[in-house]
Chain A
Amino acid sequence: MKVHEYQAKEVFREYGIPVPKGGVAETPQEARKVAEEIGGNLWVVKAQIHAGGRGKGGGVKLAKSLDEVEELAGKILGMTLVTHQTGPQGKLVRKVLVEQGLNIEKELYMGMVIDRASERIVMMVSTEGGVEIEKVAAETPEKILKAYIDPLVGMMPYQTRQLAYGLGLTGDLVKKAGRFMLGLYNAFIGKDASLAEINPLVITKEGDLIALDAKMNFDDNALYRHNDIVEMRDLHEEEPLEVEASKYDLNYIKLDGNIGCMVNGAGLAMATMDIIKLYGGEPANFLDVGGAASAERVENAFRILLSDPNVKAVLVNIFGGIVRCDRVANGIAQAAKNLDVKVPIVVRLEGTNSKEGMEILNNSGLSFITAVGMADAAEKVAKAAGVA
């Protein structure tokens, strides 16, 4: 699960990680009030969306007066921000974060991820802050320093010292960096994060280390033990159909094509999308109806994938294992009747009771197109959608 920068900074505060003074606002007037409370004579107004590259897209601005804070907040709020991560359609800005301006001496990078290859949490730091870290990793990988953390022991102080000295820090800053890193590690563990990134992490002219930016992602599997994180979910940032699907525990991801797919199992669902493409079609979605594939789930799944107006045909691909195909077929027939489906539906059932399932569909009085095997199914659905 993703959260906004201002929410990641709330988590940082909870763990004693230094962040700039600031607050979130939904109107220009609120933004002015936040700036007033912060005080000083320099502020930053930052668009809050779930995507990086906000500065380049015009979503981060400096203000030198309260009037300017209000004016800039008015421009940013309501704008559709396009960055390299939002796609060409961009994202509507509904909130801004107003923060104190800092006297920046140096910009660094700090990140924490779960490294799948080493099966360790890894902390990464670099002197190349403020630029895309993927670029640094590709061009000058030696400028990224890493510490691999044993999950049974946790991050040790010596690891923070190695990283801090490696960054060229001296004196008091080494200690400050150590506390900062242990704070970030504790936040990561404490909230079941899957990613934490601070880019840039700044050293101020006053000699402080402050998280100028903050990004955190959280492990969906662990949300059951973090109600505070669940409350941070911003449904505006998600695709409405995906939000709807998540209510029914359906794993749905909207894509740009015109062939809707309903499949049991994530791997088979991806493979189904792939084979549709091989036969000239474009998948409209990823949808895993799950192992149970009960009549109710099938009906909800149909309703959701058909509310995408681009869908011109649907492919149902079920490999019955423990789930019996005759039951799934009943669900499909019932759903097609209840929802008065207008687009062609190609059904491929294989595995347990697949023959019985096919009979149910053929005798349902509805016009299903039945298929044998995935290739046949993909070919038929591409034809039905008018693309091949």
Chain B
Amino acid sequence: MSILINKDTRVVVQGITGKEGTFHTQQCLEYGTNIVAGVTPGKGGQKWEGKVPVYNTVAEAVEKEGANAALIFVPPPFCADAIMEATDAGVEVIVTITEGIPTLDMLKAKRYMEGKNVRMIGPNCPGAITPGECKMGIMPGYIFSKGPVGLLSRSGTLTYEAVWQLTERGIGQSTCFGIGGDPIIGSTFVDLLALFKDDPETEAIVLIGEIGGSAEEEAAAYIKENMPDTPVVAFIAGRTAPPGRRMGHAGAIIAGGKGTAAEKVAALKAAGVHVVDSPAEIGATMAKVLGK
């Protein structure tokens, strides 16, 4: 088991003929992801790299190839449109890699998805992966291994760091998500914790948060209430970040004294989460928690 994506996921790549789209589609295919179609308006009828059929619209890709998940590499000015197109075409999972989408565009796209049978990961994220089955993202596939730990993170390379620490110790992962560094994202920690809760294969969780917003506090409340027996190891990046500055990610900012690492750490600790002070301790702490 795993959550959201697995070996049966049929992926359509939006923006498949672009530079990023082409490179990462290649990487995903090599990992074994079932990529059934691509979409680039105006290039319908072509075959990408001679193997994947390209369509003008996502609706066509869904109809002709049975795509049920969309991986989006569309540039920021057109990305909200691409998200809404995928939603309207009826895919159940969207993973948006694109960085730099205007916040007001994302607000609209998120509102558009409300009440519809679709779940989005991202934007501004490395994507999602169920090790050994399906990689929808730009992460290096070889660092992941199959196992019982679900991982959620607002960061990209810090996710790789944590996963590497787990894999090196022989601790595999069920499904891993980079949920994105923007202020408005498709799925929050809580949205995905709720899915992990019902996944029999996921025995423990790694949660990597950072300054800005209140997603970690909400996660803490959810864990305390709904999954008190699931071991959770967390790290919060940005204890040394100055207030009022955006630390790379659009969402990583302490505003009006809110969103500090200290508040998040306190909330998670109060919920019984194993919060590590050092990012180098994530793997070792999980090993200890799992008795390995």
Contact = CB atoms under 8 A, between A and B. Distances in A.
Interface of A: 85, 114, 116-117, 119-121, 134, 150-152, 189, 192, 194, 219-222, 224-225, 251, 253, 255, 263-278, 283, 286, 288, 291, 319-322, 350-352, 373-375, 378
Contact of A286 (B183, B241, B256): B241
A267 B107 contact: no
Contacts of A224: 76-77
B183 A114 contact: yes
Contacts of A253: 242, 245, 247
B139 A266 contact: no
- Interface size class of chain B, counting residues whose CB lies under 8 Å from the partner chain: 35 or more
Given A277-B240, A321-B157, A351-B143, A373 B280 contact: yes
B240 A375 contact: no
Given A219-B104, A274-B237, A288 B277 contact: no
Contact of A119 (B107, B139, B256): B107
14 contacts: A119-B111, A121-B107, A152-B108, A221-B100, A221-B103, A221-B250, A222-B103, A267-B249, A270-B248, A273-B240, A275-B278, A350-B164, A351-B160, A373-B280
B287 to A, nearest CB: 15
Contacts of A116: 183-184, 213-215, 251
Nearest to B212: A116
A282 to B, nearest CB: 8
Given A270-B210, A322-B138, A134 B256 contact: yes
A376 to B, nearest CB: 8
Contacts of B22: none
A288 B248 CA distance: 7
A235 B101 CA distance: 24
A105 to B, nearest CB: 29
Contacts of A225: 77, 102
Contacts of A291: 138, 156
A101 B246 CA distance: 36
Given A120-B107, A134-B256, A271-B279, A222 B164 contact: no
A152 B112 CA distance: 8
A352 B279 CA distance: 20
Most buried by B among A134, A150, A278, A378: A278
Contact of B184 (A114, A134, A271): A114
A274 B156 contact: no
Given A224-B77, A286-B248, A271 B161 contact: yes
Contact of B239 (A255, A266, A277): A277
Interface in B138-185: 138-140, 143, 153-161, 164, 181, 183-184
A322 B26 CA distance: 12
A148 B113 CA distance: 18
B102 A350 contact: no
B271 interface: no
Contacts of A270: 155, 158, 210-211, 237-238, 240-241, 247-248, 252
B240 A274 contact: yes
Given A119-B184, A375-B278, A151 B107 contact: yes
Contact of A267 (B77, B110, B157): B157
B104 A189 contact: yes
B2 to A, nearest CB: 21
A266 B249 contact: yes
B192 interface: no
B214 A267 contact: no
Contacts of A320: 140
A269 B247 CA distance: 9
Contacts of A221: 76, 100-103, 250
Contacts of A150: 111
A151 B210 contact: no
B157 A319 contact: yes
Nearest to A252: B248
Given A278-B277, A319-B161, 4 more contacts: A151-B111, A270-B238, A275-B280, A322-B23
B235 interface: yes
A319 B218 CA distance: 29
B46 interface: no
B95 interface: no
Contacts of B252: 266-267, 270
A267 B237 contact: yes
Contact of B279 (A117, A134, A274): A274
Interface string B230-266: 0000010111111011111111100011000000000
B40 interface: no
B111 to A, nearest CB: 5
A266 B181 contact: yes
Given A119-B184, A253-B247, A267-B157, A152 B111 contact: yes
B187 interface: no
Contacts of A283: 240
Contacts of B246: 220
A255 B156 contact: no
B208 interface: yes
B249 to A, nearest CB: 5
